[in-house]
């Protein structure tokens, strides 16, 4: 097992660790949340969470039952989340903009008893609730409850005091979701221990979060990467989290940076690309940032280069999974190797192995295995997948990586995304990075598609820069561009111009949908 880990006592709750302990430390008056004109201290967030816990109890939610939180990024989201932890319940986070069929899946698969939803999306969430066997109540935040329970009404007649329900460090407390790029997302059961362990090892020891930090996130709080980086991590040290409910366009992010001057920006490759390409990018002042992070998807080296040329702010690429909760390999402030994921976070043992689990030498591409005290309990209702992915102390991620002689890891793609073309392996990420080097390309994704003979060929879906227009001549130019820079068999046999790339509920490129689109 990894030598370093955080060992909480058996009786342990992240409601105490991330929130209540700040009041015990005398930090109750420090600013915890900023959202538009609203500024809440830790004392006020604590009171809000206690009210949510009391409302949950009044609505019949019991310890260990599941509560779904599907709110925009705002203080009420944070209050509901910590209210669930205080109640001893298990929180399930979901994108409030889900479609009815997706909501119905979440209701039934997770068996939630209570769902906290925004008034502006009530009709959709209520429609899906009509057929649920498990859901008992909807708690509506921010407007007319339409006959359901109203948060504002319930909160007005409850106390802001609550005695936290005792929990064990290994109790499940927050379900994350893994997959969804090629099928239904599966729930990962994570524990109180996991969230505290990664916070100690990554946020405090590796990235150096402090109470002076102000964080801003592009991905929303329902994404575990943002839950950690823009809520748990700053809260663990008494820092400040900036929230905004709007869709994270480059304009919105630039405005939040101008207005609140964060010190840490939590980003994803899609918005990195859009920010760099924005016509007003050269006029943006990002000097307030100590660093920015990137995760969720691979960060192409070409995109990293463009970011550094434009903004000059250290961009720390890394790799994490829901099964290990958060990032466990990362570049560090002052130690960035572009094109790599960086080095393992101390406390996590990371290895590159062959199909039999034997460790490979430096320079060879193999399957990524990781172990450490943030490992999940397993997948909900998926024993076979749990047994396949969780092998002894190890989690087998499904990612392909290599490790150099200095211990820096480089991403090679997902094992199930790799393409075998003309008898040779092709990593889509390599072709995507090459295409991004062409001045006409803003974003792209490469998937494998079977031709009329059943042979797999690379197909590139390309989003062009605003000043460019798709044409047969540009297709030929992009294909030639790849042929000149990579082995000729790797070039995309098809190039499809699209306005946007489809995304999953977590904002990742939906490669399954692209494959279906290519076959249609």
Within 8 A by CB and 6+ apart from 336, the residues are 314, 315, 316, 342
Q: What is the pLDDT of residues 453-511, one digit of tens each?
A: 677 889 999 999 988 999 999 999 999 999 999 988 899 999 999 999 998 877 788 88
Q: What is the pTM for the complete model shown? A: 0.86
Give the C-alpha separation, 332 to 320, whole Å.
Answer: 15
Q: How far is the CA of 147 from the CAs of 139, 303, 393, 421, 424, in angstroms?
A: 10, 49, 49, 57, 60
Q: Residue 235: left if φ>0, alpha if ψ -120 to 50, beta else—which one?
A: alpha
Delimiting residues of CATH 3.40.50.980 domain(s) in the chain = 14-190
Q: How high is the pLDDT of residue 270?
A: 84
Q: DSSP class of residue 461? A: E
Give 200-414's CATH code, choosing from 3.30.565.10, 3.40.50.12780, 3.40.50.261, 3.20.190.10.
Answer: 3.40.50.12780
Residue range(s) in the chain whose domain bears CATH number 3.30.300.30: 419-519
- 463 three-class SS: strand
In CATH, the architecture of 419-519 is 2-Layer Sandwich (3.30)
Pick the closest to residue 155 from 86, 87, 53 (CA basis). Answer: 53
Q: What digits encode the pLDDT tens for the residues 302-352?
A: 899 999 999 999 999 999 999 999 999 999 999 999 999 999 999 999 999
Residue-wise pLDDT tens digits, 414-466: 887 788 786 777 888 889 999 999 999 999 999 988 877 677 889 999 999 98
| Nearest alpha carbon to residue 268 among 290, 242, 300, 308 | 300
Count the neighbouring beta carbons within 10 Å of the beta carbon of residue 245. Answer: 15
Residues of the chain with CATH 3.40.50.12780: 200-414
The full 3-state SS of 468-493, as one line of letters, equals CCCCHHHHHHHHHHHHHHCCHHHCCC
14-190 domain in CATH 3.30.450.20? no
Tokens of 388: 């396949």
């Amino acid at each position: 097992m990894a030598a370093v880990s955080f060992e909480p006592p058996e009786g342990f709750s992240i409601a105490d660790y991330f929130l209540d302990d700040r009041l015990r430390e005398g930090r109750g008056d420090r600013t915890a949340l900023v959202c538009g004109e609203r500024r809440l201290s830790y004392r006020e967030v604590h009171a809000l969470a206690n009210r949510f816990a009391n409302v949950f109890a009044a609505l019949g939610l019991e310890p260990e039952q599941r509560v779904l939180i599907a709110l925009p990024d705002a203080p009420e989201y944070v209050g509901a989340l910590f209210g669930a932890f205080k109640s001893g319940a298990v929180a399930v986070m979901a994108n409030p903009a889900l479609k009815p069929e997706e909501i119905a899946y979440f209701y039934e698969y997770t068996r939630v008893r209570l769902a906290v939803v925004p008034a502006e999306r009530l009709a959709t969430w209520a429609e899906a609730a009509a057929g649920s066997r498990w859901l008992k109540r909807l708690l509506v935040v921010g407007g007319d409850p339409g006959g359901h329970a109203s948060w504002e009404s319930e909160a007005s007649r409850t106390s802001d005091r609550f005695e936290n329900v005792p929990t064990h460090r290994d109790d499940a407390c927050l379900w994350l979701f893994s997959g969804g790029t090629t099928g239904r997302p599966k729930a990962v059961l994570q524990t109180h221990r996991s969230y505290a362990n990664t916070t100690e090892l990554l946020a405090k020891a590796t990235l150096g979060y402090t109470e002076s930090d102000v964080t801003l996130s592009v991905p929303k709080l329902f994404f575990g990467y943002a839950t950690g980086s823009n809520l748990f991590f700053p809260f663990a040290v008494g820092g400040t989290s900036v929230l905004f409910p709007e869709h994270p366009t480059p304009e919105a992010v630039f405005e939040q940076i101008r207005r609140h001057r964060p010190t840490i920006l939590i980003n994803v490759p899609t918005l990195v690309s859009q920010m760099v390409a924005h016509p007003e990018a050269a006029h943006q002042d990002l000097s307030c940032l100590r660093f920015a992070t990137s995760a969720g998807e691979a960060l192409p080296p070409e995109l990293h280069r463009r970011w550094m040329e434009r903004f000059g702010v250290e961009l720390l690429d890394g790799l994490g999974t829901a099964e290990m909760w958060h990032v466990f390999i990362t570049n560090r402030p002052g130690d960035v190797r572009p094109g790599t994921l960086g080095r393992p976070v101390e406390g996590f043992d990371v290895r590159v192995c062959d199909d039999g689990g034997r460790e490979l030498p430096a320079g060879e591409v193999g399957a990524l295995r990781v172990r450490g005290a943030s490992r999940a309990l397993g997948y909900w209702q998926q024993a076979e997948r749990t047994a396949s992915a969780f092998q002894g102390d190890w989690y087998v991620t499904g990612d392909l990586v290599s490790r150099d002689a200095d211990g820096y890891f480089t991403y090679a793609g997902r094992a199930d995304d790799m393409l075998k073309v003309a008898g040779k392996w092709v990593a889509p990420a390599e072709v995507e990075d090459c295409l991004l080097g062409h001045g006409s390309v803003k974003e792209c994704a490469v998937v494998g598609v079977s031709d009329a003979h059943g042979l797999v060929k690379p197909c590139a879906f390309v989003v062009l820069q605003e000043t460019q227009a798709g044409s047969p001549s540009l297709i030929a130019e992009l294909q030639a561009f790849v042929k000149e820079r990579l082995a000729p068999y790797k070039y995309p046999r098809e190039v499809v111009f699209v306005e946007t790339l489809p995304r999953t509920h977590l904002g990742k490129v939906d490669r399954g949908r692209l494959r279906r689109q290519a076959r249609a």
